[in-house]
Structures are given as structure tokens and as C-alpha cells.
Structure 1
Amino acid sequence: MQTALFQHQSFLGHDTGAGHPERPERMTAVHRVLEDEAFALLERIEAPAGTEDQILGVHAAHHLQRVQAAMPESGLAMITGDTVACPTTLTSALHAVGAACAAVDGVAAGTLRNAFCAVRPPGHHAESDRAMGFCFFNNAAIAAHHAVHHHGMERVAVLDFDVHHGNGTQEIFWKRPDLFYGSTHQEHIFPGTGRADERGDHNTIVNAPLPMGSNGAAMLAAFDERILPALRTFHPELIIISAGFDAHRLDPLAGLAWTEDDYEAVTRRIMTAADELCGSRLVSVLEGGYHLDALAHSVARHLRLLMEA
């Protein structure tokens, strides 16, 4: 079994306009660093398009219809104050969904050891009936539901180390006993959710907000003391990572102080948990990360560890 990289040309075509932080150059930077010979044996898979059935597993029908109707024939369309679409955005969003679900398929079937989905647009801010925060469809949440609905899994976890709280994933998981959400994020920034007392109807949500300026040691302590013990109690059959790299000290959109070493350390902890709990079944889905060099090098460290599993 190998580690697979799921990618698609359409992720470069999602144009958000001049000056927007969630820009095609993010994907170019990731692809450039993965040209290193250290990734020569990495299996690269073209992501299929996700289906309406997959999206409707977690999103309301009127949300899908609203996104479809909002796509412009030319130029750019402002979906929300920060979420922008171009004529090919829907194609990109569908392939992002398809990448996450296909990665789950491969890992669930045992044909892949683990997988990283280098996708955009990201997904963890998309709620069941609302696009926001650069996100249209919640890729990680859709993949988690796909694992339950299509593969018969009874417990699936999403762990999120993006600097922003995944309000969409939390909202979608809130009433579900079969889905676990654990998140570290900077407190008091967008989207304003993710307090430690937000636990969900079945106590399957664990938030660890971190003060501005927190370094990687604070994040690792939050994983060791709060998130991973709760994850072990939940005992998932699959772990999905919402892998945002915008808590890096160089990232322009927030104020945490992580480094590439910290991303490697948290990845190693999650992989160890996957080994212990779910037969190493692990899928990682790209979320944020807006300093191009920090994003590229952090992804490289994350993916190199996945390949060593």
C-alpha cells in the first residue's frame, strides 16, 4: 500500500481575484515543493468529481442549488463577503469533494495506506446551508459522512489544526453521535466559534482555543491533554485531518506561532493515534495556509511523514 496525493487541474482554475489570500498560487506552491525527489514514489491520483448525493449527505438541497445558481458566466461573483466564485469554481469545488471521498474509498478498501488531498477551495467553514470563509462545500465533513454512509463505518473523526475554527464541521456534526470533531485554533478570530464549552449533543466535539501568540508547544499540549484522550474514548474507525497550515508564524491572516517542526509533531501524534485506534486509516484534506513558502514547506513535512507510515 502507498500514500496517495489527490490532485486536479481545476484547483488552479478557481480564480478569487487580485489580492484575495485564497488564490491559485497556493496550489502552485504546493505542487512546486512536491517536485522534490523525496516525493518521486508518491502515487498521484486525479481526483474525480464529487456527486450531488455525496454533497447532500451533509448539505441542504437549497444550499447546493444556491451555490450552483451563484456561479457567474464570466468575471467574479461575491458569494459572501470573503467567498468569491468564478465560472469554473463549481468544477473546482466538486473535484475537492471528489478528492476527499475517493481518498476515503482507497483507505477504507485498503488499497491506500493513507492519503493527502491537495484541494481548493477549502471546506471547513461551509455549514450545512451556508457558504462562508472561502468555503463552498465541507470537504472533510462530506468525506466523514461518506465513510459512514458508503462504507458502513460507525465512528469517524475529523481533527482540525487550521488556525481558524471549523464552524461548518462543528455545525454539521453537532447532533451526530457517530462523528467526532476535535479542533485547535486561535481564539477570538474568525469565525467566532469554537469555545471550549461547545461540546455537541453527544459530547463528541472538543475545542481547544489558543491565545494569540501561542506556539507549537501549546498546541501539542492541547492535543495531548484534551483532543487525543477524547479521541481514544470515541475510538474512530477512520481519522480525517482538516489540515490547515495558517497557524504558521509567517501566515498573514492570524497570530499563532507554529513552525514546520510543529506540523510534523502534530502529524506524528495523529498518525500514532490512527495506528492505535483504526488500523492506520488516515485521510488528510488541505484547508488554509496563506504564506506561500510556509504553506509549501509545511505540507512537505506533513506529507513526508505520511509516506513513512
Structure 2
Amino acid sequence: MHAVPNPAQAPGASWSVADVQARATAIGDCVERVIAGKRDVIDTAITCLLSDGHLLIEDVPGVGKTKLAQAIAAAIDGEVRRIQFTPDLLPSDLTGVSVFNQRTSTFEFSPGPLFGNVVIGDEINRASPKTQSALLEAMAERQVTVDGQTRTLPRPFMVVATQNPIEMEGTFALPEAQRDRFMAQVEMGYPAPEAEALMLDRHAALDPLDTVSPVATVDDVQAMIDTVLAAHVSGAIREYVVTLAAFTREHRQVRLGASPRAALQLLRAAMVSATLDGRAYVTPDDVRRLAPVVWSHRLLVDSSDYQSRHIAGEIIVEALASIPLRR
């Protein structure tokens, strides 16, 4: 890994809102040199990182899904681990195994690829439900249990999973329990013509990741997370989030509404939004801005898979329009 030049904060030092805002902007600028023209997607990924969440990217091949995760890891000088999901992948291929050492006559644990700061799960829907379920404990509790022993994962820990929406043969739908563990789902989309031309000019002869130098350390990111989670949230804001969640659960088109975990993750995402806007307190606009991003993939609606996320987004917009904030 590259050394981080002149870190703004020493390990253990407290961070101000302005410190977090400036460093998050630097991380975003760094990633944008690799993924041009997608600042909104980059900002969503940084929101997931700073709220201790995970990101699901659904889009066609070749639009930069994996590069985005690799660029984030490079920007924070973190360890990136990549898992190519296939139908024959086993849970132990993710968590690691205990291997017998003949020299010492003891079993030694060999960590799997989940032991990284940014874990890329390529084509996650190609793995069997049994293997997908191996991620549940890691994503929710930042630990894995192997042979009855619990092992803590590195911090920060973020899963960036990708899936291809147009190639369905040989794939398995993600269980609702697993979708609920992703803080946000985004689509990369094709770049604008200007951004694509810039990419061809800059990156035709070299890998853009080779030009990335870290602008933060993993210790910096953990300190930033601690600062974000200290943002003030009023009782009215908490009640607003609970009421929005209840609206989705009671809607006539929804079979499974926003869970308590979804409400908590929306609140955490709003705390990141407030901090990155230079505030130490959350406003209703923070909640309203992020609700569609954080909740659209979680709602189970009565429609085809192709239309479900669009309808879920409309239901969330309906909830935001119908429920006033009680002051």
C-alpha cells in the first residue's frame, strides 16, 4: 500500500464536522479520477462507507462497478478483497477454514476474502442461497463464525456487491434478508459522452487505479464514522422516520415494507448527509433526499421483478408527500 502523505489527524484524535467534510470531499475527488461523471454514485458509496453500511450495484457489464469499489479502497489505503461468485462457491470460500499444521500438530485458521476493508462481491446473484447466506453475519455483525469460533472482521468493513440485471440464466435471486442488509442500491448507468471521451483520453494506455494515491487511512475513516454517528437527531426526526416506515408497511401494494433495520440505516445515512453538508444535526431534507436510495430495493411489492423497484420508489415518494414533519 502507498503511504498517506501528511495525514490531517493523528490516530485517536477527535475529528470535527469540517474535518470529515473536507476529507470525504477529497476521497470523492480521488475516486472521480477513476470513475468520471458519476459523482452522485460516488457520493452514495461514500455515504455507505461513513455510515458503516454496504452497497449493492446493479447494472450491465463494463460500466465501472468493480472499479468504483477498487478506487474507494485505494483512496482510503484499505485492503480490498475480491470474490467472484459462482454456483460452486462454498461458504468456507468466503469465511476461511481451519487448516491442520503437521509441524505443530494444531489447526490454524486461514482467513477468507471477507477479511478485508472493502470486499467486492462480483455477480453476487450467481452464488447459491447457502453461500449468499454466509455473508449475513459478516454484513450485520462484522464477524464470522468458523468451527464454533467467532472472529472479528477488520474495521472499517464494507461490502460492495454487483449483479447483472439482464443475464438471469444460472442466477439466484437475493434473499430478502440479504437485500435488507445493503444500505443502498444504485445503478451506474452509461457515462455522458464528454465523460466517456475523457476516460478514453486518460485511461486508454494505463490503469486509472495506478494513478490513485490515498488521501486517508482506514483509521481516519473509522474516526470519521465515529464523528458522523455523533450527529444530533431530534425526537421529531426519529418519529418522522418511524412514520415513513409504517406507511410502507401498510401500503396496499406492499407485501413487505421497510424493516426496523431499514429505518435505522436511513437515519444513519441522513447523519452522513448532515455531516457532509457541514452540519452536526440532521434535518428533514437529509431524510427525504436519501429515503428512495436507502429503501427502494427493500420493499417487496406486488408486481414483476422488472417493475418492482420503480413502483417501490413511487411508494416512497408518496410517503414523503403524504406525511408532514411534526415539529
TM-score by length of 1: 0.31
Structure with more contact order per residue of length (Cα contacts < 8 Å, sep ≥ 6) = 2
Q: Which has the larger radius of gyration?
A: 2
Task: Provide the TM-score with structure 2 as the length reference.
Answer: 0.30
